[in-house]
Amino acid sequence: MRALRSIPLVLVLVVTTSAAFAEAPPPEARAHFDRGIALYTAGSYDAAIVELEAAIAIADYPDFHYALGQAERKRGRCDRAIEAYRRFLRTSPPPEELRVTGANILRCEEALAKQPAPPPAITPTPPTPPPPPTRTNQQLAGIGVAVTGGVLLGVGTYFAVSARLDWGAVNDAAAGHEPWTPDLQRRYDGAGRETTSAAVLLGLGGAAVITGGLLYFLGAGKPRPSAGPGVAPWASLRLDPAARGAGLGVGCAF
């Protein structure tokens, strides 16, 4: 029995004969197939492919595959058309249908060979992270001066605390009418020196911190020249102890 011999596929898809079937396809599959052929005839190839694939999902009939191959070829998807044609050929169709299908496969392969090769995938280059901000010599000097000021504030605070303890001991002894001893004299003399040292160091430390901040602010945006040999864009601190207080030296190069 040639189940699909009378369908419009003979005229539209250029099939001269149809494969023989032991029995007719299920009515539901035949309905999808008929709608697919009607859509193909009307030039609605996308809709025709949907109907033909629905027919194949219900019944794997040879003519369904050939019709799908024709619709895919008309749609311009020769790679899918070749797959459908080859599924049709695996059903061992009659010689004439074999010849026509082979010619369609050859036509599709020639069309695929003429298509331009897809452009190579371009891997986006990750953006280069911005370079870390560089500090100018003046900013480096500002940092050094500010750090020096912090050290001075720390040392000045130490002297201030020590002086307060010594003054406290002397005042307590005086309030208690204790006899004056060499230790009290030492603490009395030390409290005076420490008070003076604390005042000087705290003043210099505060001024150094402020100066360092100004240097850093004023140095922003200026080019940073490379330091030559022996030139250190930094600040130096020199604290010289003396018998009565301490001497302080601060220097910077930029």
d(CA 81, CA 11): 19
Which residues, at least 6 apart from 144, have a Cβ–Cβ distance to it below 8 Å?
212, 234, 235, 236, 252
| Domain 9-113 classification at class level | mainly alpha
What Rg value do the Cα atoms of the chain yield, rounded? 49
**Beta partners for residue 236, in sequence order:** 251
What are the angstrom distances between the C-alpha of 213 and each of 68, 149, 237, 249? Answer: 80, 10, 17, 19
Tens digit of pLDDT for each residue in 177-214?
788 888 878 888 887 888 898 888 888 888 888 987 87
State the chain's mean pLDDT as an integer. 77
- pLDDT for the residue 180: 80
* 21 pLDDT tier (thresholds 50, 70, 90): very low
**What pLDDT digit, counting tens, does each position of 136-189 carry?**
777 778 788 888 988 888 888 988 888 888 878 778 878 877 888 888 788 888
Q: Give yes or no for residue 17 having a pLDDT over 60.
A: no
pLDDT at 4 over 50: no
**pLDDT 10s digits, 69-123:** 999 999 989 999 999 999 999 988 899 988 999 999 999 999 888 877 777 777 8
Give me the residue spans of the domains in the chain.
9-113, 137-252
* 63-82: pLDDT as tens digits: 899 999 999 999 989 999 99
Contact call for residues 15 and 99 (beta carbons, < 8 A): no
Residue-level pLDDT at 5: 36
Exposed e or buried b per residue across 197-228, where buried means at least 16 C-beta atoms within 10 angstroms of its C-beta: bbebbbebbeebbebbeebbeebeeeeeeeee
